[in-house]
Each structure stands twice: as structure tokens, then as C-alpha cells.
Amino acid sequence: MSAQKKRNFKIEAFKHRVELDPNYAERTWRVLEHAIHEIYNHNASGLSFEELYRNAYNMVLHKYGEKLYSGLVNTMTGHLKEIARSIEAAQGGFFLEELNVKWGDHNKALQMIRDILMYMDRTFVPSNHKTPVHELGLNLWRDNIIHSSKIQTRLLDMLLDLIHRERTGEVINRGLMRNITKMLMDLGSSVYQEDFEKPFLGVSASFYSVESQQLIECCDCGEYLRKAERRLNEEIERVSHYLDVKSEVKITSVVEGEMIANHMQRLVHMENSGLVSMLVDDKYEDLSRMYNLFRRVPDGLSTIKDVMTSHLRETGKQLVSDPEKLKDPVDFVQHLLDEKDKYDKIIRKAFNNDKTFQNALNSSFEYFINLNNRSPEFISLYVDDKLRKGLKGVSEEDVEVVLDKVMMLFRYLQEKDVFEKYYKQHLAKRLLSGKSVSDDTERSMIVKLKTECGYQFTSKLEGMFTDMKTSIDTMQGFYSSQYSEIGDGPTLAVQVLTTGSWPTQPSAPCNLPAEILVICEKFRTFYLGTHTGRRLTWQTNMGTADIKATFGKGQKHELNVSTYQMCILMLYNSTDQLTYREIEQATEIPPSDLKRCLQSLACVKGKNVLRKEPMSKDIAEDDAFYFNDKFMSKFFKVKIGTVAAQKESEPEKQETRQRVEEDRKPQIEAAIVRIMKSRRVLDHNTIVTEVTSQLQSRFLPNPVIIKKRIESLIEREFLERDKADRKLYRYLA
């Protein structure tokens, strides 16, 4: 092969301009113009894409882009005007259809045109800051069709009319609607908003305003809410079918505003059907609906909450001040528990477990439970009733549930120390009379109290249990030591109570019968033998006795009586008749107790082992009491006079309250000293605030009492007033 001769190829541009025929541009444009016409006339099939593209390309290339572009604009505009006329001419319902069809056509045409003019779109348009073809097409459509004076209003009116019809129950062509609104959206969000959405919202507002006015006059609350909910759902559905998704929140807020927010107060307060009656009748569905609707509007939920709170406080207040309801403490507490259950259920089922509602419930309960200062006592009595007999046969879990519910009420109490005092008293009675249903349940309750209030609250209570256990062991020890010596004498069961742990009862000793004294002394010797340095005092006002009695016709009964009553009855071993005075002298039982004992022995049907003359219920000094030979009872064992814990009489209540007040004084003082020790100098109001917050888990201290305690501490030189500012106090080390 011979080496090829190197050829120098150079490609150069034309050195001379190729002059285009000036008519060339015009001619080329005409071709394109014609094509556009054909496209709009649905005659595009006869066109050659390649040729048209090339023509457009050449025009741009030869710097005739401007002509092409403006030609396009004019041509399109011309067509669009024609289209506008045909749409305007459409009658009635065909208007929208025509519009829709033409829009579809226009889009197709636009696409083809854009394809043909693609080169211009990519080069001439950006560099000359012109609107791209597609967008241009949309804008022209907008300006010539949508904003044409004959079309604009008519279009809007039609759309709104259709929507109105649908709202009043007619079926409309949703597909068509969707296309139209989509068209508006495609034309730009401002078109959609200005030409449709805004007026739509305005009209909707009037519509719903009118409708809500009508409904509120004729519907009750539940019905109204159902209808409002339905409308709301309708609108949401409407949006999903043929409106822009962004319209949803706007239209729903219109409905919410007109139907709910504007009538909120009236709905809630509607007589016989409003919130209050829904609460009273446990209308969960209605309440739930109200909750869900109202949460959509500002202040909706707080309105519900406020009405619920004031209703609850009102009913609660009535409950705690109604003397009928207060007659039976157990019943009273049961009512409270039922009320709490009711509202818990409402909040759970209808109010979505909303925490703010739960808090409102708690604060309301706290408010009215503390309106009655006997609440602590009554709650303790309720627990007493349950632990004494109410829970027999109920399963352990149920027991826990009941006690937990009671603890909820306990938490609401402001005067927890009063509760403690009563609980102690009632517990003591239960333990000593052996009436407690189960040791486990008692303990369970103590644990709950301890968790709530701390160790200090329950340490004494636990001491009581310990004493009971220890006493059993002591008795065993006693009897094994007395083995041979007891014989026929009375059997003794002693509970040794540690003074600090048990509620203090001032006890005046009475004269025990001789038979009893012997064994009592034996026990005392035994006990003190193993526990030197202790002192034993018989609590004759707290014991019980079982006595065997034989009556006139030989009928025997076993009587279960209190110690006092035993002392009285034993006197009748030597005589058949005694006056009150004689009994008093012989037994030395305190008069008020003695009278009560005699009343239960002589004045109660079925238990009258004594006969009283005169037969009156009151006891006078000269009354005579006879052994009732004719006593009859179907039971062999007769129980007389052991009293279950009752609510206190007025004087007893005063006494307990006084004791509580006395107990509070040192607690307040201790708090003051603690605070002043660490802060050194404080003003009066701050001390009061601090003390209150320190003690609030037990009780609410009265500021006047705090002041008095401060003054007492000043006198005892724990504190002094500051010399410069008399409102400040100083701690004296």
C-alpha cells in the first residue's frame, strides 16, 4: 500500500453571508400559520411534523424568532376569540360542557404547537425573556376565555350554582366539575383562588350561616351536631372529588365557623338537650361528636370543659350539703364513687381521655369534697364498712379495685390528718372486736396509704397490727404457764395495746366482778414478770365478754356483751333488782356510758335481758332494773351492744376536731422553725406560703393559725421581729 497523500481538509464557514430571500420569512411563517389553523380545526393529520419543525427552526436560526413568536401570539389569540364566541353561545348546561371540550382541544393543540416550535421554545424564548409556549397558551386561554367578560361571571355562577344544588340534595356531574376546576388550577393558583375559591368560600359562608340559623331554631343539640357533622363530611368529600386539595382546610373552617363556633354557647347551654343533659344521661355518642366537632374551633374544648366543670361542681356541692344524703356516710361515699366512675367513663368514652378534662374533673372533686368538713370521717367509715363486712365473697381483685377507687377520693382530701385520726379509731374498733374481714385486705389498705402519704402516716397503724399479733403469743404463753391452776374460772383473752399506737381513750376504770379480778391479777403478774418496767392499765371501756345466763324457765343463753355490761349483769347473781344509783355505786362506770349500757340491756327489743321500771327510754336516778326472767330469744347466742363504728355525735365530733387542731399546732411550728432555720430572715407572707406548701400533703393550714404560732415562737424566743422592718422575722439560733 502506498502512503496516502496527506490532504489538508479544512472546514470553514461561509465567508459570505447567505442572503435569505426576505420573503422567505414571510413565506415560512405562512406555512406555520396555516398549520396552526389546521391544528385548531382538527386537521392536523395532514401536516408533516418534520417540515413544520424545520420551518420553525429556520426562522429562528435566521433571526426571525420575533416574527414567529408574535405571529404565534396573534394566531392563537384569534382562534381563542373564536372559541370564546362559541362557548358564549352555548345554552344553559351546555356551557360548561362546551368549555370543557374546547379546553381539551386547546390543550391538545397547544401540545402540538409546542412540539413544532420546540426549537424556538428552547433558544429564542429564554434569551429574549419571552413566556414559553405552553405557558403562553395557558395565559392566552385565561385572558381570552376565562376572563372574557361574557364568560367569567357566567362560569363562576354556574359552578356555584351546581355546588349549591348538590348541597341541597341534587346529583351533579362531578366529573365535569373536576375538569373545570382542574382547568382553573392549571391556569395558575391565583386564577383558581380569585376566580373560584374566594367566591366559593364566601357563598358557602352565607349558605351555612343561613342553614345553621334554621337548624338551631328547630333542632335539639344532638340533632344539630349530627347535621353539622354530616355537612362537614360532605364538604370534605366534595373537595376530594372535584376541588383542589388545598381547599379542604379552607372550606372546613368555614363550616366550623358558621355551624359550630357561632352557635357554640347556644348549643352547649341548650335546655334539655345541651351539654349538661348529655352528661346527666350518659349520652356517649353525642358527647363524643360534640368533642370532635368542638375541638376544631378555637375555645371549643375549653367551653365544654368549663360547662362540665361548673355543672360538676354544682352537683357535687349539692351532694355534699344535702342533709338527706349525709344521713348515711357509707351511702354518701358510694354516691361520690359512682359520680367519679360516671365521669371517668364519659372522659374515656367520649372525650378521648383528654388530660385537661381529667384535670378539670380532679379539681372539681377536690373543690366540693372539701366543702363538707366531715368528708374525711365519712370516707374512713366507708372503708370501715367495706373492711368489716362489705367485701366478703368478693374476689381479691375486686377488693383492690374498690380500695383504689377510695384512694382516689382520699387524694382529694385537704384534711388528710383528720382522716388519719378517724381511720385509726375505726381500725382500732375493727381489730379489737375481731370484725375485720381479712388481715390481707387491711394490710393492703395500709400499703396504699403509705404509698400515698409516706411512712409516718402509717407507722402507728402498723404498730396496732403488731400488738394484736404479739397479744396472741402472750396469751399462749400465759395459758401454758397457768396450766394446772385455772380450772373452772373464767377464761381471759387479753390484747395488750401499746399506748402510743392506739387512739387515746381516756378510760375511767370500773369495778370488775370478783371472779374476773382474780384472773386479771394473774395475768398482770405473768405479764410484768416478763416485761418489767411496763405499766398495764385495764381499758374497761373497750372490752367484751361472753356470759352464760339462765332465765326463768330454765332457758339458757350465751350473751355477748361489753365489759361494762358484764359488770352490771354480774351484780344480778346476788339480787334480782337494783336501782340505777345502786348500779352506779357498785360498778363505778361513768354515767354517760352507764346510761348507754343500761339502755341497750333494757330498752332494745329482743335484747332486753333486764327489765326497766318505768318503761321509758330515758334513764333517771331512781329507775329500777330487774333481771328479766321472761327473756326470750330464738338464738342461743345473743349479741348485745357491741357497736360498729358510727359517725360521731356532735360533741364527739367537736372533740375529735379539737384534737386534730391541737395536733396541727406543733406541726405548723416545726415547719416554721425548719423554714426559718434555713432561710434566716423572711417576711411574713413568704413564711405563710412556704409553710402551706410544706404541709399541704396533710392539711391546709389556716394563715391566722400560722400567725399565732409565729407569735408564740417569738414569745419563746425562737424568732424575733427585725428591728428595722417590722414585717421581717429573724431566726434566733
Partner 1 sequence: MHKLGRGHRDKVQQFMAITGSSEKAAVQALKASDWHLEGAFDIFYSQPHIRTVTDSRHLEELYNRYKDPYVDMILVDGITLLCNDLQVDPQDIVMLVVSWHMKAATMCEFSRQEFIGGLQYLGIDTIEKFRDKLSYMRSELKDEQKFREIYNFAFGWAKEKGQKSLALDTAIGMWQLLFAERHWPLVDHWCQFLQVRHNKAISRDTWSQLLEFAKTVDLQLSNYDEEGAWPYLIDEFVEYLTENGIVQRPQN
Catalog residues that contact partner 1 under the rule CB under 8 A: 683-685, 704, 707-708, 711, 714-715, 721, 726-727, 729
CB burial class (10 A; 0-12, 13-18, 19+) of residue 422?
A: buried
The rounded distance, in Å, linking the Cα atoms of 102 and 86 is: 9
Which amino acid would we find at residue 137? G
Q: Which is nearer to partner 1, 16 or 726 (CB)?
A: 726
C-beta closer to partner 1: residue 403 or 706 = 706
Tell me how far, at minimum, the Cβ of 370 lies from partner 1, in Å.
24
Cβ proximity to partner 1, 470 vs 712, nearer residue: 712
Task: Using the minimum distance from each CB to partner 1, give the nearer residue, 239 or 713.
Answer: 713
Q: 159 in helix, strand or coil?
A: helix
Specify the 3-state DSSP secondary structure of 2. Answer: coil
- In three-state form (DSSP H/G/I as H, E/B as E, the rest C), the secondary structure along 484-547 is CCCCCCCCCCCCCCCCCCCCCCCCCCCCCCHHHHHHHHHHHHHHHHHCCCCCCCCCCCCCEEEE
Nearest distance from residue 650's CB to partner 1, in Å?
A: 25
> What SS3 class is residue 556?
strand
Number of Cβ atoms within 10 Å of the Cβ of 408: 14
DSSP β-ladder status, 681-683 and 728-731: antiparallel
Q: Report in angstroms how near the CB of residue 704 gets to partner 1 at its nearest.
A: 6
- In angstroms, give the least distance from the CB of 720 to partner 1: 9
Question: CB-wise, 63 or 680, nearer to partner 1?
Answer: 680
DSSP three-state, residue 550: strand
Residue 706 CB, shortest distance to partner 1, in Å, is 10
**Rounded Cα distance, 566 and 577, in Å:** 16
Q: How far apart are CA 453 and CA 611, in angstroms?
A: 51
Residue number with CB closer to partner 1 (296 or 684): 684
By the 10 Å C-beta count (0-12 exposed, 13-18 middle, 19+ buried), 218 is classed as exposed
Task: Name the 3-class secondary structure at 608.
Answer: coil
- Could you tell me the smallest distance in angstroms from the CB atom of residue 440 to partner 1? 49
Q: In whole angstroms, give the CA distance from residue 105 to residue 55.
A: 24
Looking at beta carbons only, is 652 or 683 nearer to partner 1? 683
Measured between alpha carbons, how far is 100 from 180 in angstroms, rounded to an integer? 6
Minimum CB separation of residue 665 from partner 1 in Å reads 14
- Our CA dihedral for 80, 82, 83, 85, rounded to 10 degrees, sits at 130
Show the DSSP H helices in 386-488 as ranges: 396-412, 416-432, 439-453, 455-481
Q: Identify which of residues 610 and 672 has a Cβ nearer to partner 1 in the complex.
A: 672
Q: Which amino acid is at 211?
A: E
CB 690, min distance to partner 1, A = 15
What type of residue sits at position 25? A
Cβ atoms < 10 Å from Cβ of 659: 14
Residue 707 Cβ vs partner 1, minimum distance, rounded to whole Å = 5
Q: From CA 488, how far away is CA 490, in angstroms rounded? A: 7
Looking at beta carbons only, is 13 or 704 nearer to partner 1?
704
Toward partner 1, which CB reaches closer, 678 or 685?
A: 685
Closest approach of partner 1 to the CB of residue 664, in Å: 16
